[in-house]
């Protein structure tokens, strides 16, 4: 991967008025956008600012065709055989909520999750327990931070209706053994939902090969615009889902006392869509296709190995498990003894122009259950360099010595 050339595609990474670009290490929250994505969004507003699937004039037709192209691009990107298995939502959270609240869970049904779920899975399941009386069974991680397949097998029962899990942790970067999870869940008659927001940006996903029922990703974590989620629902599983929202475009028609839903994916896309976001996401998917996800993953892991080796040599620094950087992709979460994570992040930003994230990363239950008051998270992507990693390490070392 030619990082020097890649960085030229990102306007914010160019020097401006003699000022060096920031060291952006908050990619697990949101990635930067290349010029082609920005241009695609602008082109929509400048050239085809119309609604898809409604009006019959030329501009509307052009938008409809572009959205259809992106749906096909997204299907290929995720390994789906049918573009109709891809729905565009306002974010990944909406997709996760759609599956959790739309899959007909009832009192006595069980849902199996990990103990490191993002709040976009954790909170809806707490609410579903209040509303429907479902039971949640949580698979505790091993002491080394890995997924415990034996504990997962024990958690499954004849009452398990759904397995809803974070495919890649946004706190540790660990990716669970997806194929084994799906096979074991299906053997008990349960459907599987994967939160792939942290997986899709840098790892190949083949939903057909995995045989997963539902999978959700976020455009803004993979070079695309904010405000767009991508939901995969297997054809035979999507018909079992009821939409989260109802309104225009999601129905074939309505009378004063009845309505009929459109088939998937349109039934999940009620209301005005984020057309510029869909078109921008298409540009992002094509950009990642040119770079190659294998190259993305290799680059992230190489930088993580370098950062891990250096931080391990600093007194007072503790890296959240797993310890092996090869299992953490582009994410490294750590703490400095005697320092509050938010203070570390602010010092890095103010003194070195290094941008990381601090706190509980929308994964409060993980930190609360382990008695840890958050962490500093440095997350890497295709435009980050070894020099930036070394700059972060030097800044952390300086802080550990000073404070």
- DSSP of 272-292: ---HHHHHHHHHHHHHHHHH-
Block residue for tokens 């609240």: 101
Distance CA 126, CA 195 (A): 17
- Return the pLDDT at 47: 96
Distance CA 76, CA 83 (A): 8
pLDDT at 248 over 90: no
pLDDT interval class at 239 (50, 70, 90) = confident
pLDDT interval class at 294 (50, 70, 90) = very high
User: At 117, is the secondary structure helix, strand, or coil?
Assistant: coil
pLDDT at 311 over 80: yes
Mean residue pLDDT across the chain: 96
Asked, as a colleague might, if the bond just before 322 is cis with ω within 30 of 0, I would say: yes
Assigned CATH topology for domain 3-30+292-402: 3.90.1150
Those residues whose C-beta lies under 8 Å from the C-beta of residue 401, and which sit 6 or more positions away, are none
- Return the pLDDT at 402: 86
Per-residue model confidence as pLDDT tens digits over 96-109:
999 999 999 999 99
- Give the least confident one: 189-198, 221-230, 235-244, 377-386: 235-244
- Return the pLDDT at 17: 59
Per-residue model confidence as pLDDT tens digits over 252-268:
899 999 999 999 999 99
Those residues whose C-beta lies under 8 Å from the C-beta of residue 393, and which sit 6 or more positions away, are 307, 310, 311, 314
pLDDT at 166 over 90: yes
Q: State both tokens at 15.
A: 């020097």
Provide the b/e sequence for 12-37 (b: ≥16 CB within 10 Å): ebeeeeeeebbbbbbbbbbbbbbebb
Q: Is the dihedral of CA 143, 149, 153, 155 positive or negative?
A: positive
- Return the pLDDT at 403: 80
Distance CA 247, CA 261 (A): 10
Mean pLDDT of 269-285: 97
- Return the pLDDT at 400: 93
Give yes or no for a contact between 37 and 225, defined as CB atoms under 8 angstroms apart.
yes
Per-residue model confidence as pLDDT tens digits over 314-354:
999 999 999 999 999 999 999 999 999 999 999 999 999 99
Which of 196, 191, 263, 193 lies closest to 229, judged by CA?
A: 196
Distance CA 164, CA 212 (A): 11
Assigned CATH topology for domain 38-290: 3.40.640
Considering the chain, what percentage of its residues have pLDDT values greater than 90? 93
Q: How far is CA 212 from CA 103, 105, 341, in A?
A: 15, 18, 36
pLDDT interval class at 148 (50, 70, 90) = very high
Which of 5, 38, 58, 52 lies closest to 295, judged by CA?
A: 5
Note the pTM of the prediction, 2 decimals.
0.96
Per DSSP, which regions of 176-228 are E strands? 191-195, 214-218
Give Cα 374 to chain centroid, integer Å.
20
User: At 23, is the secondary structure helix, strand, or coil?
Assistant: strand
- Return the pLDDT at 249: 86
What is the set of active-site residues? 362
Where do you find CATH 3.90.1150.10 in the chain?
3-30+292-402
Q: Is the dihedral of CA 224, 225, 229, 231 positive or negative?
A: negative
């Amino acid at each position: 991967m030619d990082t020097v050339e890649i960085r030229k595609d990102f306007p914010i990474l160019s020097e401006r008025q003699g000022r060096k670009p920031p060291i952006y290490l908050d990619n697990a929250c949101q990635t930067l956008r290349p010029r082609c994505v920005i241009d695609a969004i602008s082109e929509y507003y400048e050239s085809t600012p119309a609604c898809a699937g409604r009006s019959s004039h030329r501009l509307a037709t052009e938008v409809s065709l572009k959205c259809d192209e992106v749906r096909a691009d997204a299907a290929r990107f995720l390994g789906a055989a049918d573009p109709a298995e891809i729905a565009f939502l306002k974010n990944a959270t909406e997709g996760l909520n759609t599956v959790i609240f739309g899959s007909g869970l009832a009192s006595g049904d069980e849902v199996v999750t990990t103990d490191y779920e993002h709040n976009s899975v954790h909170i809806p399941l707490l609410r579903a327990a209040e509303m429907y009386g479902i039971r949640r069974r949580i698979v505790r991680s091993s002491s080394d931070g890995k997924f415990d397949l034996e504990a997962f097998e024990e958690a499954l029962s004849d009452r398990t209706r759904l397995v809803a899990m974070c495919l890649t942790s946004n706190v540790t970067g660990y990716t669970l053994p997806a194929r084994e999870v799906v096979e074991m869940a299906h053997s008990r008659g349960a459907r599987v939902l994967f939160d792939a927001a942290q997986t899709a940006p840098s790892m190949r996903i083949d939903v057909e090969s995995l045989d997963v029922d539902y999978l959700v990703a976020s455009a803004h974590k993979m070079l695309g615009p904010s405000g767009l989620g991508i939901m995969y629902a297997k054809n035979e599983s999507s018909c079992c889902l009821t939409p989260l929202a109802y309104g225009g475009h999601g129905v074939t028609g309505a009378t004063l006392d009845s309505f009929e839903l459109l088939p998937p994916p349109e039934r999940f896309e009620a209301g005005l869509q984020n057309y510029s976001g869909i078109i921008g996401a298409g540009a992002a998917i094509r950009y990642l296709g040119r770079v190659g996800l294998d190259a993305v993953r290799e680059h992230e892991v190489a930088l993580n190995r370098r950062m891990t080796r250096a931080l391990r040599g600093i007194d007072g620094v503790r890296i959240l498990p797993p310890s092996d950087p090869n299992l953490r992709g582009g994410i490294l979460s750590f703490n400095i003894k005697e320092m509050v994570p938010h203070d570390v992040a602010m010092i890095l930003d103010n003194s070195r122009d290094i941008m990381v994230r601090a706190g509980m990363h929308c994964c409060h239950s993980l930190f609360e259950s382990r008695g840890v008051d958050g962490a500093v998270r440095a997350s890497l992507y295709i435009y980050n360099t070894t020099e930036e990693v070394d700059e972060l390490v030097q800044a952390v070392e300086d802080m550990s010595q000073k404070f």
